Amino acid sequence: MIVYVKTADANLKNRIKDALKDQVNTLRIYDTSEKFWTKVARKTPTMIIFDIRNASSGQLYNIKRVRKSKLLALRRAPILAISHEISEEHVVKVLNTGADDVLASPFSNEILIARIEAIARRAERQTNHMAQKKMQIGDLKINPWKANVYVRDEKIYLTATEFDILHYLYKNKNTIVSKIDIALAVWGYDDYQIMQSLNTHILNLRKKLGVARDLVQTVRSKGYMLTNE
């Protein structure tokens, strides 16, 4: 796994190095956006970690730029945002910008490693998606081979996490799946912060699906279901 980190915080740099030195194949930490983007242009990382101090437009710009990249592999790279602020408003804003997960700082090495491992499992699942046939329900089509989603033949751009959630719902279509089941399938664990993230991802997923948004149904006190019935 190739992990790029963008942070100018010396303490955070040392903490990430200490936690991941034996966990990933390649770890590169950049203190400026210029250095980060110069390297990204040469080699696409498996995962990106951004140090997010607050939800200002300047500090979220890099996440937006990744998600709008013309490079498909970069656009799909999972993004973990490390934040000193964990208010619901802040987390929602960061996720809406395109991050796949938000990790509250300070954090333990074990928590960071668990998040990295969950993302690695997600990447492996996406590789396995490639062996599957195209899927369709109502106006929604999913191409696991390319991890593409279409609504009435119009391509919809989802984050890696949104795609994993939708794919899991499809595999269990017409069946109610709990939030905990989704969290375990997508992230590999569940906690309050993940539940908060899941709610936001579902809202964003529905918004992006447009006319097909009603396929993703909320079953009160039980979870979610993908169905056209």
pLDDT in tens, the chain (229 residues): 899 999 988 999 999 999 998 888 899 999 988 999 999 888 889 899 999 876 566 678 899 999 888 787 788 888 999 988 878 888 888 898 889 888 988 889 999 998 888 877 776 666 565 555 678 999 999 987 777 899 999 999 888 889 989 999 998 999 999 999 998 888 877 777 788 889 999 999 999 999 999 999 999 989 999 998 7
| Segment (H or E) for 134 | none
Euclidean distance between CA atoms 2 and 46, whole angstroms: 5
* 96 and 119 part of one domain: yes
Range of the domain at 184: 130-226
Where is the domain boundary, 125, 140, 164? Answer: 125
What tokens were used for 111?
């928590």
CB 114 within 8 A of CB 83: no
- Looking at the fold, whether 12 and 121 belong to one and the same domain comes out as yes
* Tokens 């109610």, located at residue: 176
**Three-state DSSP state, 110:** helix
Indicate whether 89 and 135 sit together in one domain. no
Domain closes at, from 100, 125, 150: 125
Give the amino acid at 206: R
Q: What is the Cα–Cα distance from 223 to 3, expressed in whole angstroms?
A: 33
The one-letter amino acid at 108: S
101 and 37 inside one domain: yes
Q: Are residues 206 and 145 in the same domain?
A: yes
Report how many domains make up the chain. Answer: 2
For the whole model, what pTM was predicted? 0.66
> What CATH number does residue 68 fall under?
3.40.50.2300
Which domain CATH number covers 179?
1.10.10.10
Same-domain status, 97 and 176: no
Cα 28 from chain centre: 20
**180 and 154: one domain?**
yes
Residue 24 shares a structural domain with residue 114: yes
Q: Can you give the length of the chain in residues?
A: 229
